[in-house]
Chain A
Amino acid sequence: MTSILFFEQLLNGIQFGTMLFLMSAGLTLIFGVMGLINLAHGSFYMIGAFSAALIASLTGSFWLALLASLSGAAIAGVLIEIIIIRRLYRRDHLDQVLATFALILLLSEGVRWYFGAFPLYLDIPENLNGTLPILDDIIYSKYRLFIIFMGLLIAVGLYILISKTRLGVRIRAGQNDRQMISALGIDISKLYTIVFALGASLAGLAGAMIGAIQSVEVGMGEPILILAFVVIVIGGIGSIKGALIGSILVGVTDTIGRIFLPELLKIFMESASATSVGSSIGSMLIYILMALILIIKPSGLFGKT
């Protein structure tokens, strides 16, 4: 194991983390402001990817496709918020779980119905193809650097939005005291719709960017949804900062763990079983991490107690 390889894997972990951040930022905002457990957040990831694939196949432009993912997921978000989600805010968490679970079924099967059962094609633009030399010996995928860049850009954007703008003030007020904010005469249902659409569009963007290097298919959102929940719980629910740090932590732990654990175990046991055992523990690692963090800090790293 060379230090170059280690550094490259670290970048991979960070890239995975920034992508998780796009998913979890929306999820944590929606929970923080509206108190909604949204299991269907992964569906917006899927909707974003499918919108992008559709537009890319029509226009051939990746950038238009990214735009489509943002707007497609946002439109879906607005519609779903107005028709269904709005009625759930005052309900029990469990009702929300059931309703959004049902939404997953509805949206996944709806998308499959319309687009068919086979994965769609979505590729990265030509000028982001290939690798870029960074530092001496390290070469790294341009597109993955682009993902890291986009993730950081959005993190900064969210920071400015929340700390510097009028909308941000309302969001923070909503997180602290829901009754108060409506008493102040702010149109709370509009605020909720905006926050929900914002979360949905971030998830949609993540879906399109990742769909371009993985696959655009039905059911792509659920594994990532579970990871996003892991992230916001580790970071502390409602905290954007927590989501960012949690994302990077999960991304790096998962990547580094699954590569270096088998190598580490090879010191103690023979190669074949080290590979096997190492991969097994590697796939459990982020859950072990989450359990450990929660045992030590029961409300996450930056959560309010």
Chain B
Amino acid sequence: MKKFTTTLVALLIMGSTSSFADGHKVKVGMITTLSGGGSGLGIDVRDGFMLAVKGNKNISVITKDDQRKPDIAVQLADKMIQSDKVDVLTGIIWSNLAMAVVPATVNQGKFYLSPNAGPSKLAGKGCHKNYFNVAWQNDNLHEAAGGYANSAGFKNSFILAPNYPAGKDALTGYKRYFKGSLAGEIYTKLGQKDYAAEIAQIRASGADSVFFFLPGGMGIGFMKQFSQSGIKLPVVGPAFSFDQGILKAVGDAALGVKNTSQWSKDIDNNANKKFVKDFQSEYGRLPSLYASQGYDTGKLLISAMSKAKVKDKDKFRDALRKADFSSTRGKFSFDKNHHPIQDIYVREVIKEGKILTNKIVSVGLKDHSNAYVSECKM
């Protein structure tokens, strides 16, 4: 009993370091996935962000693991806002967690900078002046894939995605730009990793191309099985199944596959070169697009801090809106609903020595915004 009491009291005291922030300091709360499945993405975002703010004495960051559970994420957000008195929240990877955390956060007057998730609800009707998306609106990469499919001359696509909101957004995004017809449209079970049945359907469908959105382990399984099936159709998908962390696990099955991304290691600008070099020397691995998004989020924050104090919300918001930082993606600005206007590239998976990576082959959509701007009353 006594021990129990002391532990709890110790806990209470431990957390009670109050902040003596002067106007130039910013306290950042980072909620991201650091344990269990999908933690690779969270670790990359965190590492990218920390690299960007490294050495900046005015920024303090509290990082917490959300375990990919929305209820935990909500509780962490409550903690950071109530107890740690953070000014800015960031870090969430998954759309469902973002939907759980973001609305409450921005309504309480805190800023939220999204380094990854961009659900359509937060871009359209649910947009908010304190919410900034530094990555993309969820549909963007899929739209670019649709655009690429047109330019590659695909006429009859087979499309598939998991049966959950982001999956539906993905297929909608592709269809919004793709002008051909559909040979088939399948929603797979979330978390499913065996696609023998779906691949058989693709074989039987008479499609001339395949578009898929299967993030994480789902995509690894699909690519390997598709390449083993001997079907020689061209495949296109968003970068999530071809990012640096995952490519190694997919192996040569990914070689030559076209994928769409707002970032690539070989985008030719100084900010990006510096980022790729610094990231490698700091962490000893190649950066992924998630790392670049975390990095840009950090740089955006620093740019706003140099213009305004965070306590002066209106000025700080204006400073964020200007997006006056050198993005690793080159040109970057915010549209009216605080989502990026940026180029989306088409990349191809190649081998550099023994390492699989991506190179840009063309620009899929130039200065691309999103379909929800008009719905946003802001």
Interface-facing stretch out of A31-39, A181-189, A278-286 = A278-286
Task: Name the one of B186, B201, B220, B228 contacting A5, with C-beta atoms under 8 angstroms.
Answer: B201
> A279 CA to B291 CA in the complex, in Å?
34
B246 touches A131 (CB 8 A): no
> A123 CA to B252 CA in the complex, in Å?
9
Instruction: Mark B186-217 against chain A: 1 for CB-CB distance below 8 A, else 0.
Output: 11111101101110110010000000000001
User: What is the count of residue pairs linking A and B with beta-carbon distances less than 8 angstroms?
Assistant: 116
* A249 proximal to B (CB < 8 A): no
> A217 CA to B225 CA in the complex, in Å?
16
Given contacts A118-B249, A276-B163, A276-B187, contact A218 B37 (CB under 8 A): yes
B200 touches A5 (CB 8 A): yes
> A55 CA to B186 CA in the complex, in Å?
36
A residues near B224, Cβ cutoff 8 Å: 123, 212-215
* Closest A residue by C-beta to B191: A223
A283 touches B217 (CB 8 A): no
A218 touches B36 (CB 8 A): yes
A residues near B190, Cβ cutoff 8 Å: 283
* B43 proximal to A (CB < 8 A): yes
A residues near B250, Cβ cutoff 8 Å: 121
A112 touches B189 (CB 8 A): no
> A5 CA to B199 CA in the complex, in Å?
11
Interface size counted on chain B using CB atoms at 8 A: 38
Enumerate the 6 nearest inter-chain pairs by beta-carbon distance, A residue then B residue, closest first.
A119-B249, A215-B220, A214-B221, A219-B37, A12-B196, A215-B217
* A161 proximal to B (CB < 8 A): no
> A258 CA to B160 CA in the complex, in Å?
13
* Closest A residue by C-beta to B243: A118
B residues near A213, Cβ cutoff 8 Å: 194, 221, 224-225, 228
Interface size counted on chain A using CB atoms at 8 A: 49
Task: Name the one of B189, B229, B245, B253 contacting A282, with C-beta atoms under 8 angstroms.
Answer: B189
A141 touches B194 (CB 8 A): no
> A218 CA to B33 CA in the complex, in Å?
14
CB distance from B248 to the nearest CB of A (A): 5
Given contacts A213-B225, A280-B163, contact A123 B189 (CB under 8 A): no
B residues near A258, Cβ cutoff 8 Å: 188-189, 197
CB distance from B32 to the nearest CB of A (A): 12
Chain B interface SS verdict (over half): helix
> A219 CA to B68 CA in the complex, in Å?
13
* B266 proximal to A (CB < 8 A): no
> A16 CA to B230 CA in the complex, in Å?
20
* Closest A residue by C-beta to B188: A279
* B251 proximal to A (CB < 8 A): yes
Instruction: Mark A102-134 against chain B: 1 for CB-CB distance below 8 A, else 0.
Output: 000000110010000111110110000111000
B201 touches A279 (CB 8 A): no
* Closest B residue by C-beta to A131: B230
A119 touches B246 (CB 8 A): yes
* Closest B residue by C-beta to A124: B228
A residues near B229, Cβ cutoff 8 Å: 131, 141
Task: Name the one of A121, A124, A144, A212 contacting B248, with C-beta atoms under 8 angstroms.
Answer: A121
Task: Name the one of B191, B193, B196, B220 contacting A141, with C-beta atoms under 8 angstroms.
Answer: B196
Task: Name the one of B40, B197, B221 contacting A118, with C-beta atoms under 8 angstroms.
Answer: B40
CB distance from B176 to the nearest CB of A (A): 15
